[in-house]
Structure 1
Amino acid sequence: MEPVSILFTQLREIARGTIEILPQLAVSLFVVLLTWGISKLAQSIIRKVLSSTGMRQSLKELFQLLTAIFVWVVGLMIAAVILFPGLTPASILAGLGIGSVAIGFAFKDVFENFLAGIIILFRREMRIGDHVECEGIEGKVTHIAIRESHIRQTDGQLVIVPNSILFKNPVVVRTDQDQRRVTVICGVAYDVDIDKARGVIEDAVKSCDTVITDDKPVQIFAQEFGSSSINFEVTWWTGSEPVDIRRSRDQVVAGVKRALDDAGIEIPFPYRTLTFKEPLPLEDRCSDAQDIAAE
């Protein structure tokens, strides 16, 4: 019977200890519920305060998240001190410090993307709706979150990019400005008057409605002596969206080709001249064919 009495004694001690901490447990639960309410209220206040600013939506959500985390950390610390009177805020902070180091090593990549996301959210150079290119990924930015960014490629595919990639590598923002410069190469034959060809090409480019001519010049430069043509570098300005670039290039190439044809200026294709060191024998196949037909 002695083991049974020991068991009952231990159960009584556990029950007595549980009853003794019931008031602290109730108060701790009340503090947790109060923390939940304060967290919701604080997020609502932050949302209303930031709604009148021109801040990005993702940045507003970040401030709401940080506010909620701060409120919950303080609330849980108070609840823990009430439930376990032996704890002190200093010991809790020390434990959090040691734990944060271990968690930091375990989730290094997660925290790296998190910090990179915060920095990216404060950037003004890359906005939602911009067309960007980074590490071979090119498309439209549709969402910027704390850990990752969403880029919709021109073929419709969605690429989820960790923010650390966008932070550590060069990012080309193609729509940072409303206008972009486009360049194509156009060749004319060697026997064509260069100044005449330049004028025809320039007039053709300026006649395109996708070409901006108000404050941006159309530039035509003779670039090089090609294998079968004099090559011109044709440069103009148009919209910065990818579809604007493709549409304008199509219109300019078609317009320049039409204008050169109308002016009688040849756009040559590559010629090849074959030189042999020794004379080649020639066969008169027409005569052979006639002889065979006569037979």
Structure 2
Amino acid sequence: MKEDLQSSFDILLNKLSDWGSAFVENLPNIVLAVAVLLAAYFLARYTSKGVSKLVAKRVPQKSITNLISNLTTVVVVLFGLFLALSILDLNDALMSLLTGAGVAGLVVGLALQGALSNTISGVVLSFRKNIRIGDWIETNGFAGEVVKINLNNFIIKEADNNKVIIPNKTILENPLKNFTLTNKMRVVLGCGVGYESDLDFVENLTKKTVKEAIDQVKSMDDVEFYFEEFGGSSINFIIRFYITSESAIEKLRAKNTVIKALKKAFDKEGINIPFPIRTLEFNTGLKVNSKEFAEALSTN
């Protein structure tokens, strides 16, 4: 029993002695590896700050700036870690680490495919010059002002002050209309007048009214006027003119102004804006005996 304990104790001492000798032999490499890790840590901090400032000049979204800054930190630290492992001659551990990281990355990527797709789309949207915070856009059936571009979603504020959250992937995959990219916007408005109206007078009055109501319309020639059809109750026409604006709300305001001005002008000149009517014709040519008709009603 004592011999077994002594043998085990000797083996332990030999192991400790071998480890001590290996530590002393590899002490320069260990010191160098630790120095590399420390250098990578401080380099990652300074690199992260520099990249953050550089990205912030081009991307207003703080979330995107933080993401790129953190990715830079991870890349620099991982590079320092791999270099330190190579200095310690731990190639097997390095290969195992790379293999495990690759498998883990594949599993995570498959599990979070939708979330990663939205994140990548958010980064792409943040660097697009034709979509910026404050722009008035229309996409996926919604229209409003872009208030935020996050990593996972796109937030717009509609004219009624409601906010719509749209996945970034959906924005990239569907058409998008950006009203802010051009400073001219065409306003189209339809109306109708009675059949008794003087159409030439209606056209001239309409153009004059639009010119006086909208400051951006400099002359009557800037107003396009077209009669469209003989409607059921009126002769219908449309007017078109341009305004200088980067927001769709100005288009609604222009319509509102012109509608009120046209109503006042037409009322002043006695021009009728008919509403839909229906005429019932009872003169069918049939002769009805009032006495027989009364008897039929009484029996029923």
- TM-score normalised to structure 1 length: 0.76
| Alpha-carbon spacing, 1:45–1:202, altered in 2? closer, same or farther (3 Å) | same
Matched, 1:137 2:142: yes
Question: Which residue in 1 is equivalent to 2:124?
Answer: 119
Letter of the structure 1 residue corresponding to residue 151 of structure 2: I
Question: Which residue in 2 is equivalent to 1:246?
Answer: 252
For the 8 Å contact 1:80–1:87, the answer to whether it is kept is no
Matched, 1:267 2:269: no
Q: What secondary structure sits across from 2:252 in the alignment?
A: helix
| Alpha-carbon spacing, 1:159–1:272, altered in 2? closer, same or farther (3 Å) | closer
Matched, 1:171 2:193: no
Q: Tell me, which stretches of 5 or more residues in structure 1 are unaligned? A: 283-295
For the 8 Å contact 1:216–1:236, the answer to whether it is kept is no
For the 8 Å contact 1:216–1:237, the answer to whether it is kept is no
Question: Which residue in 1 is equivalent to 2:262?
Answer: 256
Q: What's the CA shift for 1:228? A: 0.7
Q: What secondary structure sits across from 2:166 in the alignment?
A: strand
| Alpha-carbon spacing, 1:162–1:280, altered in 2? closer, same or farther (3 Å) | farther
Instruction: Say which of 37, 56, 60 aligns to 1:57.
Output: 60
Q: What's the CA shift for 1:280? A: 7.9
Cα displacement string for residues 29-74 of structure 1 (whole angstroms, at most 9, x for unaligned residues): 65544333211211223345556x6x23346556534433321331
Letter of the structure 1 residue corresponding to residue 110 of structure 2: F
Q: What's the CA shift for 1:192? A: 0.8
Q: How many Å separate the matches in 2 of 1:28 and 1:152? A: 53
For the 8 Å contact 1:210–1:248, the answer to whether it is kept is no
Q: How many Å separate the matches in 2 of 1:126 and 1:181? A: 21
Q: What's the CA shift for 1:126? A: 1.1
Q: How many Å separate the matches in 2 of 1:200 and 1:132? A: 34
Q: What's the CA shift for 1:147? A: 2.9
- Which piece of structure 1 moves more, 102-111 or 24-33? 24-33
Question: Which residue in 2 is equivalent to 1:232?
Answer: 237
Q: What secondary structure sits across from 2:258 in the alignment?
A: helix
> How do 1:1-295 residues align onto structure 2 when only pairs under 5 Å count?
16=16, 31-49=36-54, 55-58=58-61, 63-81=68-86, 85-87=90-92, 92-209=97-214, 211-213=216-218, 217-238=222-243, 239-276=245-282, 277=284, 278=286
Q: How many Å separate the matches in 1 of 2:118 and 2:36? A: 33
Letter of the structure 2 residue corresponding to residue 97 of structure 1: G
Aligned residues: 276
| Alpha-carbon spacing, 1:241–1:280, altered in 2? closer, same or farther (3 Å) | farther
For the 8 Å contact 1:130–1:173, the answer to whether it is kept is yes
Percent of counterpart pairs with the same letter?
A: 27
- TM-score normalised to structure 2 length: 0.75
Q: How many Å separate the matches in 1 of 2:199 and 2:242? A: 23
Q: What secondary structure sits across from 1:57 in the alignment?
A: coil
Q: What's the CA shift for 1:204? A: 0.7
- Which piece of structure 1 moves more, 258-267 or 271-280? 271-280
CA RMSD across the alignment = 3.7
For the 8 Å contact 2:208–2:220, the answer to whether it is kept is no
Q: How many Å separate the matches in 1 of 2:69 and 2:220? A: 44
Larger Rg: 2
Q: What secondary structure sits across from 2:222 in the alignment?
A: coil
For the 8 Å contact 1:151–1:158, the answer to whether it is kept is yes
